[in-house]
Amino acid sequence: MEFWIATGNKGKLEEFKLLLQKNFPEAKVHSAAELPHYSSPPENGQTFLDNARIKARSLKAMKPNVWIIADDSGLEVEGLGNLPGVHSARYAGPKAADSENVAKLLKMMLIRAGTNRKARFQCCLVVFNPAGEESVHYGTLEGEISKTPRGVHGFGYDPVFVPAGQTQTLAEIGAGFKNQHSHRAKALQDFISKVTV
Ligand code: IMP
């Protein structure tokens, strides 16, 4: 099976590679970043599904007849009215670094969130099979926002996200936990449980 992942995010790509190759040992997993003429489309949808579809369709136009997987994911924080949500990657500005997004989040928590630190990661996967048929898969990881960043693993908001039932942040726990329990892992497990090859 040949999978093309519509992401330039190395953290996400590594997670997809690990999970796909665990379930399909012969799978070849490529990233859109390998295509010289690919530029990621504007993610101007209102929902995770809208944006995952935008990414999946734009990659499918360049790579027909292979498996295409696009995810759109983000962090919803209850005390911030579920922000940053679909704006997670650009919370502190269009080209914001992960550290800038985390700093803005912690600042907004102080200003707005009060004592409610509950949060969840959401993932929506849009998959096209080589025949061009679309399927949609979801995954969620519940948790809360820590008061300070901790840990060195992962990417994005991992240093400030403590999964429910854990005391460490995702960036402290490391890849083993995410590969089993993350929002992306759950959405991908849903795809894997339904796929027919
Ligand atoms: P996307 O690439 O447009 O889907 O943006 C997703 C953004 O949500 C990322 O840039 C991160 O800021 C955040 N995000 C999504 N998944 C994770 C995760 O597993 N850990 C930490 N941050 C994440």
Confidence of residue 76 (pLDDT cuts 50, 70, 90): very high
pLDDT of 8 reads 87
Q: How far is Cα 128 from Cα 45, in angstroms, rounded to an integer?
A: 19
- 123-160 per-residue burial string, b: 16 or more CB within 10 A, e: under 16: bbbbbbbeeeeeeebebebebbbbeebebebbebbbbb
Each residue of 4-13: pLDDT tens digit?
999 988 988 9
Confidence of residue 132 (pLDDT cuts 50, 70, 90): very high
Neighbours of 114 (CB within 10 A): 9
- Is 156 touching ligand 1 by the criterion CB < 6 Å? yes
CA nearest ligand 1 atom 14, residue: 74
150, 168 Cβ separation under 8 angstroms: yes
Instruction: Look up residue 153 and give its DSSP letter.
Output: S
Q: Does residue 138's CB lie within 6 angstroms of at least one atom of ligand 1? A: no
pTM score over 0.85: yes
Measured by CA distance, the residue closest to atom 2 of ligand 1 is: 72
The closest-lying atom of ligand 1 relative to the alpha carbon of residue 89 is 10
Task: Return the bridge partners of 29, or none.
Answer: 3
Instruction: Count CB atoms within 10 A of the CB of residue 39.
Output: 9
Per-residue confidence (pLDDT) for residue 86, from 0 to 100? 97
Ligand 1 centroid–CA 156 distance in Å is: 6
pLDDT tens readout for residues 115-125: 999 999 999 99
72 catalytically annotated: yes
Burial class from Cβ neighbours inside 10 Å (0-12, 13-18, 19+) for residue 161 reads buried
Please identify which of the residues 50, 71, 72, 190 carries the catalytic annotation: 72
For residue 149, how far is its CA from the centre of ligand 1 (angstroms)? Answer: 16
Buried b vs exposed e over 67-98: b needs ≥16 C-beta within 10 Å? bbbbbbbbbbbebbeebbbbebbebbeeeeeb
**AA identity, residue 10:** K
Residue 197 scores a pLDDT above 80: no
